[in-house]
Structure 1
Amino acid sequence: MTSKRYKYQRRIDSSSAEHCCVPLCGASSRFNSSLSFHTFPVVTEIREKWIRNIRREKLNLTCHTRVCSRHFTSDDLIQPFNPKARRLLRKGAVPTLFEWNGYSDAEAKMTAEFEYSVTIKEIYSQGDIHHLEHDYCWVPEPTLADNALDPAKDLHEEVERLRRQVEEMSVSQRFCLGRFAASDDDIRFYTRFTTCSHLMAFWKLIEPASNNMIRVSRVRASTVKREDGTTDVALDRSLQPIDEFFLFMVHLSVGLTLRDLGHRFNIHESTVSRIITTWAHFLYTVLGSLRIWMSAEAVKAHLPNQFQDYPDTQVLIHCTELHCQTPLLKSEDFSYKSHRSFKGLIGMAPHGAVTFVSSLYAASLSDEELFKQSGIVSLLKPEMAIMFDNTLFVDDCVPCKVYRPAHLLEEQISADEGKETQLRVHIEGLIHRIKQHKLLDTVIPLSVTGTVNQIYTVACLLVNYQNGPLVEGWAED
């Protein structure tokens, strides 16, 4: 019988090799890592079947005598959960696939039609007797059985499918962004972004910069040792970067306490505090580096219909106040017991974009003095006009015109009642966009009070990204 030759890929990581004792088989563990090599069974009856099927004369069995997995059917082999682990044989398995039967299951034929002496004579008559002994200098060509689908590969794919299924179930149970990605209503409730796609568009803008930040959820490395002696480093991070960002947005938009967030995200309360602080500084740096003040031409290009009677309006001014859980000894900084209050100034274009954010000052500072110290005066020009939603008298310190729609509403209610009411509602809608960040309406906890200025600034700047121009029908949560 002429035998076909083939080459295995050489393995350089094996210090010792196992060889198959079957005639006409040159399999070696040194050249093929996909095969497994099995010792002869201890049960006498099964061992004799092995010897009879192998057809090797004067076989001297030792503890090192092996038969490779090519001579067993897939049903005889037990595939381990780990594809790299050693395969085992089922109890009573007998080798039946050989070169001389085309690697087909011919055990029944061999036992019924052939006697051991007869088959030996046939093999002798086909060629050199030395082919009966194992030749380590050549290897046969692969057959169709070798090219068939690898059962280990099928098992590996099944394991991967189950792993993905477990991950999906884990995501559906964990409190993370992936859990709410399919619901725009949930995304809007927890982050104030109108849709998940809107949120992901913003994430793509900041993700490149986030790769350079030092995240709170530190990477933990564990060494995994394989059976072949190699080691892998497995990384475990308690929260993904996008989930850290999601945690910050939930705290800012919903105003949940640190303990509540710790229970939801399954992390320690102190870790929640550090995540909020880290992302407040990061977003403050990234968003604050962009110029938000708009030119007069750009503001006029987006002027809403409500401002037709005030076409030169450049910015609407609003003062807001924050309360922090920071009891201090300076009584002048207190507006409420055990709460320190801060005051900030926000400038918005008529179409809803935030164009100016001041730093926070002590609440004891008057609105007029806050306006002067904020720095917005240097941005105003004579051809512009500013508008207030409250009684702020700074006419003597600005180089431009001043509108007060609240006063106009009282004085001209008979003539322009509908028009002035519409303008007032529009202004209140603009201010409401910032107030939708519930954290600004709650008492900011002591653990994040050190970054209150960054949190306040980020909350104001995020308005430009969360929902674009005024969204009609925005439900109040």
Structure 2
Amino acid sequence: MLLQKEVVQLTSQLNHLEMSFSFKHIEDKDDLVVLYTGLPNRKIFLSVFNLLKNIDKNYYLGWNVTCVSDIDQLFLTLLKLRQNPPHKDLALRFNCSSATVTNIFVTWLHLLHEIICCTLMKSVPSRHKNEACLPNCFSVFPNARMVIDCTEIYSEIPHSLKNKRDTYSHYKHRNTLKGLVGVAPNGVITYISPLYPGSTSDKKVVQHSGILNIFEPGDLILADKGFLITDILPAGVSLNIPPFLCQPQFTPHQIIQTRNIARARIHVERAIRRCKAYKILHLIPQNLMPLATKIWQVCGGLTNFQFPLIKEVETYYQDKSEDI
């Protein structure tokens, strides 16, 4: 009788697993791994999972999740970030309750943030490390440490009048949140700021975020002409932005300078585009506002697990691996 009861329980558990959406259903198809997680393939997904699997989890709602395996909890979280399906949809797919989806997502978001943003991205590569894989487009900027730019993310209209005013962007004509991204010359995101109200100026974001504490004498920052931050730079740190048109037309030297900066800056624009491929960043609802910065930073950090932005860098690493 006891054995029969155990068989029934195991059969029920097996049926539960077979009915659930799972990473095993897509792991052998790279295009589906990219679609659902933003990661290139099964190998990279498992690398991320291995970084997290042995960490003690303090579940957000105070109770452990046992009906979804750990690997599928990560899968669910990445799926939420990448495609942003409603929690009811995820609950149906993974054969669990909406409360369980919330418990999983918030818990694993914190884990991803702790490992990727607070550990892997804790230190920013020095200028000398950047020189080891400097793309050709940075040959005129050999001392470049970082390319920076701000971007805005749409948010739901806040309830409070003050927050409505603070988050209203005159550039986007909508309520937004603003974040700063810093990219190394090789295309890797090395800095992601917290999110600020959309009306915050680029200069205030730079000043408040603490990014300037990273730089050392001799470092060069590349930015767009909107970053008028020369007066707040640390001693010995220089800024290169496109020249302003103060005459009827640019001089030949200014044209070359503008082109060189544009060639280098395109990589931060591409990096931001990769971040915004995570659909959860298309519109931050009010209920996710307390998690907005972590969501933004995790999405940015996850792009570093994708294939290199710059083909020159990819070729460099391939050549290095052949030399080993």
Q: CA 1:312–1:469 in structure 2 vs 1: closer, same or farther (change >3 Å)?
A: same
In structure 1, the residue corresponding to 2:145 is in which secondary structure?
strand
Deviations 1:345-382, CA, capped at 9 Å, x for gaps: 12111112222222222222111111111111122223
Tell me how far 1:436 sits from its aligned partner: 2.0
Determine whether 1:356 maps to 2:197: no
Query: 1:174 & 1:383 partners in 2: Cα distance?
Result: 55
Partner AA of 1:394 in structure 2: I
Q: Which of residues 213, 219, 240 is equivalent to 1:378?
A: 213
1:321-336 mapped onto 2 (5 Å cutoff): 321-325=152-156, 326-330=158-162, 331-335=164-168
- Residue in structure 1 matched with residue 38 of structure 2 by the alignment: 192
Q: CA 1:327–1:272 in structure 2 vs 1: closer, same or farther (change >3 Å)?
A: farther
- Residue in structure 2 matched with residue 251 of structure 1 by the alignment: 80
- Residue in structure 2 matched with residue 283 of structure 1 by the alignment: 112
Tell me how far 1:307 sits from its aligned partner: 0.7
1:44-193 mapped onto 2 (5 Å cutoff): 174-193=20-39
- Residue in structure 2 matched with residue 149 of structure 1 by the alignment: none
Q: Which of residues 238, 251, 254 is equivalent to 1:401?
A: 238
Q: Which of residues 287, 290, 312 is equivalent to 2:143?
A: 312
Deviations 1:172-218, CA, capped at 9 Å, x for gaps: 75322111111111111111111111110111111111x44337695
Q: CA 1:453–1:463 in structure 2 vs 1: closer, same or farther (change >3 Å)?
A: same
In structure 2, the residue corresponding to 1:443 is in which secondary structure?
coil
Tell me how far 1:263 sits from its aligned partner: 2.9
Partner AA of 1:370 in structure 2: V
- Residue in structure 2 matched with residue 207 of structure 1 by the alignment: 53
Q: CA 1:324–1:262 in structure 2 vs 1: closer, same or farther (change >3 Å)?
A: farther
Partner AA of 2:292 in structure 1: V
Gaps of 5+ in 1: 1-81, 86-158, 221-236, 473-477
Q: Which of residues 256, 266, 270 is equivalent to 1:429?
A: 270
In structure 1, the residue corresponding to 2:294 is in which secondary structure?
helix
Tell me how far 1:306 sits from its aligned partner: 1.3
Q: CA 1:459–1:411 in structure 2 vs 1: closer, same or farther (change >3 Å)?
A: farther
Query: 1:418 & 1:333 partners in 2: Cα distance?
Result: 35
Determine whether 1:301 maps to 2:132: yes
Tell me how far 1:447 sits from its aligned partner: 3.0
Partner AA of 2:74 in structure 1: F
Q: CA 1:437–1:414 in structure 2 vs 1: closer, same or farther (change >3 Å)?
A: same
- Residue in structure 1 matched with residue 100 of structure 2 by the alignment: 271
Q: CA 1:415–1:405 in structure 2 vs 1: closer, same or farther (change >3 Å)?
A: closer
Q: Which has the higher contact order (CA 8 A, sep 6+)?
A: 2
* Aligned pairs, number: 292
Deviates further, 182-191 or 453-462: 453-462
Q: Is the 8 A contact 2:22 2:94 kept in 1?
A: yes
Query: 2:243 & 2:275 partners in 1: Cα distance?
Result: 20
Query: 2:292 & 2:194 partners in 1: Cα distance?
Result: 10
Question: TM-score, structure 1 length as denominator?
Answer: 0.54
Q: Is the 8 A contact 1:387 1:405 kept in 2?
A: no
Query: 1:393 & 1:216 partners in 2: Cα distance?
Result: 45
In structure 2, the residue corresponding to 1:444 is in which secondary structure?
coil
Q: CA 1:247–1:390 in structure 2 vs 1: closer, same or farther (change >3 Å)?
A: farther
Q: Is the 8 A contact 2:147 2:265 kept in 1?
A: no
Deviates further, 310-319 or 211-220: 211-220
- Residue in structure 2 matched with residue 463 of structure 1 by the alignment: 303
Q: Is the 8 A contact 2:83 2:280 kept in 1?
A: yes
CA RMSD of aligned residues (A): 3.4
Deviations 1:103-122, CA, capped at 9 Å, x for gaps: xxxxxxxxxxxxxxxxxxxx
Q: Is the 8 A contact 1:389 1:405 kept in 2?
A: yes
Query: 2:259 & 2:192 partners in 1: Cα distance?
Result: 31
Tell me how far 1:420 sits from its aligned partner: 6.2
Query: 2:255 & 2:79 partners in 1: Cα distance?
Result: 45
> Which of structures 1 and 2 has the bigger CA Rg?
1
Q: Is the 8 A contact 2:82 2:277 kept in 1?
A: yes
Q: CA 1:429–1:322 in structure 2 vs 1: closer, same or farther (change >3 Å)?
A: closer
Deviations 1:227-282, CA, capped at 9 Å, x for gaps: xxxxxxxxxx3211221111111111122233332332233333323322222222
Q: Is the 8 A contact 1:389 1:427 kept in 2?
A: no
Tell me how far 1:317 sits from its aligned partner: 0.7
Query: 2:211 & 2:29 partners in 1: Cα distance?
Result: 40
- Residue in structure 2 matched with residue 21 of structure 1 by the alignment: none
In structure 2, the residue corresponding to 1:317 is in which secondary structure?
strand
Query: 2:309 & 2:95 partners in 1: Cα distance?
Result: 36
Q: Is the 8 A contact 2:222 2:261 kept in 1?
A: no
Query: 1:219 & 1:386 partners in 2: Cα distance?
Result: 46
Gaps of 5+ in 2: 312-324
Q: Is the 8 A contact 1:334 1:341 kept in 2?
A: yes
Q: CA 1:390–1:198 in structure 2 vs 1: closer, same or farther (change >3 Å)?
A: farther
